């Protein structure tokens, strides 16, 4: 049996988004040819994406965004997932809101609004990266993320992706991790004269010990680590495509699931601090500053020498900041050196200026929403 296991880490991106009345809803496209390539969701259903066409000067540019949504770690949790919208297109919404980096409104998304924008639905449970099958006679489960990724690209190429001038691969959380894993692959699949770059939002998962000194996340991915270099901090060294890392230095997902997983805080000493950073004790703040320090050191080591890379590392208690309008580009969006995330990513992508900014430590940033899911 060569299937691999993943940790079940349920997370959703930006449930706090407020959508205006003129929100853009985009139709689902099922990838009909995928089944013949063995590219199917956990339950065997066809994979899907949502495409909104670009226009004007953006008509030959493409933004692909991996949907996020945690992982599943064993047969039982993947089986359960296969009966939900995270593992089967049968259960997914057929229309998706395109906001933030996916918005088609120039005043909400100044640099990418007129590109072809695609949301790749996530239904394999493993950041679009597995290729295996489980079948014991009565139950089948498909771990076919790698094939789904390829099938979607093959479907998009004749729709204009084969003539792309500029392309950006993005995603948050499990989708942010997918951008690390597929970035160079993306470059190889596109025309050789295209300008290709990648953006990982909330996907810089650190291989650290939790407060109980256990490698919680590493043990989650134990089986996977045998198969591939899973932690992005190790993959980053090898990526040759220009990369932008958008992350909070206090990423709440990592804080709640990796630094202080429930297993390491059985008595719930961190519950109040997890809900509100202002309620943390000085000792807890010290531990969080240590986490930030570790993240910055890791980024400097792997990324400090890169001249084409960009980063926006703020100090908000947040996770996923490119997909919701209020954190991407709005009057009161988070800023570093007075730049919003949309401006920073646009500056970097279009080469207007180098953007590698790290915010000062908590609690100095006054632009945070600290919206904890």
Ligand X SMILES: *[C@@H]1O[C@H](CO)[C@@H](O)[C@H](O)[C@H]1NC(C)=O
* Active site amino acids: 173, 251, 319
Q: Which stretch binds ligand X (CB under 6 A): 8-16, 117-125, 276-284, 298-306?
A: 298-306
Q: Under a CB-based contact definition with an 8 Å cutoff, are residues 259 and 295 in contact?
A: no
Of 1, 21, 56, 138, the one binding ligand X (CB under 6 A) is 138
307 binds ligand X (CB under 6 A): no
Do the strands 310-314 and 335-336 form a parallel or antiparallel pair, or are they unpaired? Answer: unpaired
Report the C-alpha gap between 32 and 15 in whole angstroms: 31
305 binds ligand X (CB under 6 A): yes
Residues 56-95 that bind ligand X (CB under 6 A): 75, 79
Please name the residue that has the structure tokens 């339950």: 43
DSSP assignment of 227-290 equals: HS--SHHHHGGG--S-EEEEEETT-HHHIIIIIS-GGG-TT-TTHHHHH-GGG--HHHHHHHHH
Of 56, 137, 268, 282, the one binding ligand X (CB under 6 A) is 137
Q: What are phi and psi of 157, to 5 degrees?
A: -55, -55
Q: How many CB atoms lie within 10 A of CB 87?
A: 27
Residues 324-353 that bind ligand X (CB under 6 A): 338
Please name the residue that has the structure tokens 């004749």: 158
Q: Which is nearer to ligand X, 131 or 155 (CB)?
A: 155
Cis peptide before 363 (omega within 30 of 0): yes
136 binds ligand X (CB under 6 A): yes
Q: Which stretch binds ligand X (CB under 6 A): 119-127, 142-150, 287-295, 297-305?
A: 297-305
Q: Which is nearer to ligand X, 185 or 265 (CB)?
A: 265
Which two three-digit tokens encode residue 114? 């007129």
162 binds ligand X (CB under 6 A): yes
121 three-state secondary structure: coil
Residues 216-235 that bind ligand X (CB under 6 A): none
Q: Could you tell me the smallest distance in angstroms from the CB atom of residue 158 to ligand X?
A: 3
237 binds ligand X (CB under 6 A): yes
Q: What are phi and psi of 61, to 5 degrees?
A: -115, 145
* Number of residues engaging ligand X in binding (CB under 6 A): 29
Return the sign of the alpha-carbon dihedral for residues 66, 12, 102, 232: negative
Q: Which is nearer to ligand X, 56 or 137 (CB)?
A: 137
> Binding residues for ligand X, per CB under 6 A?
22, 27, 29, 75, 79, 105, 107-108, 136-139, 158, 162-163, 165, 191, 193-194, 212, 214, 237, 263-264, 301-302, 304-305, 338
């Amino acid at each position: 049996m060569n299937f691999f296991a993943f940790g079940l880490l349920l997370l959703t991106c930006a449930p706090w988004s407020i959508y205006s009345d003129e929100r853009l809803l985009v139709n689902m496209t099922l990838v009909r040819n995928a089944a013949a390539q063995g590219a199917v969701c956990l339950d065997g259903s066809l994979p899907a994406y949502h495409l909104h066409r670009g226009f004007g000067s953006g008509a030959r540019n493409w933004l692909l965004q991996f949907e996020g949504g945690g992982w599943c770690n064993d047969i039982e949790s993947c089986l359960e997932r296969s009966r939900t919208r995270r593992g089967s297109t049968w259960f997914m919404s057929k229309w998706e809101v395109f906001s933030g980096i996916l918005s088609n409104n120039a005043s909400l998304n100044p640099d990418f609004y007129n590109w072809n924008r695609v949301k790749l639905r996530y239904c394999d449970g493993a950041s679009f990266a597995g290729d295996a099958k489980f079948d014991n006679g009565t139950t089948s489960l498909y771990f076919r993320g790698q094939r789904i990724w390829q099938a979607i690209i093959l479907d998009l190429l004749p729709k204009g992706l084969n003539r792309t001038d500029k392309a950006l691969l993005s995603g948050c959380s499990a989708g942010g991790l997918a951008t690390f894993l597929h970035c160079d692959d993306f470059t190889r699949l596109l025309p050789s004269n295209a300008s290709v770059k990648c953006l990982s939002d909330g996907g810089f998962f650190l291989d650290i010990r939790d407060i109980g000194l256990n490698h919680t996340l590493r043990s989650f991915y134990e089986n996977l680590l045998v198969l591939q270099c899973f932690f992005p901090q190790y993959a980053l060294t090898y990526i040759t495509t220009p990369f932008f890392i958008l992350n909070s230095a206090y990423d709440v997902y990592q804080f709640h699931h990796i630094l202080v997983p429930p297993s390491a805080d059985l008595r719930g000493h961190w519950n109040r601090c997890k809900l509100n950073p202002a309620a943390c004790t000085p000792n807890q703040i010290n531990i969080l500053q240590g986490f930030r320090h570790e993240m910055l050191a890791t980024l400097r080591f792997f990324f400090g020498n890169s001249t084409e890379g960009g980063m926006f590392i703020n100090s908000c208690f947040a996770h996923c900041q490119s997909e919701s309008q209020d954190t991407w580009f709005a009057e009161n969006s988070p800023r570093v050196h007075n730049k919003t995330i949309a401006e920073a990513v646009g500056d970097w992508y279009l080469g207007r200026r180098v953007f590698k900014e790290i915010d000062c430590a908590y609690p100095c940033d006054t632009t945070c929403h600290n919206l904890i899911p």
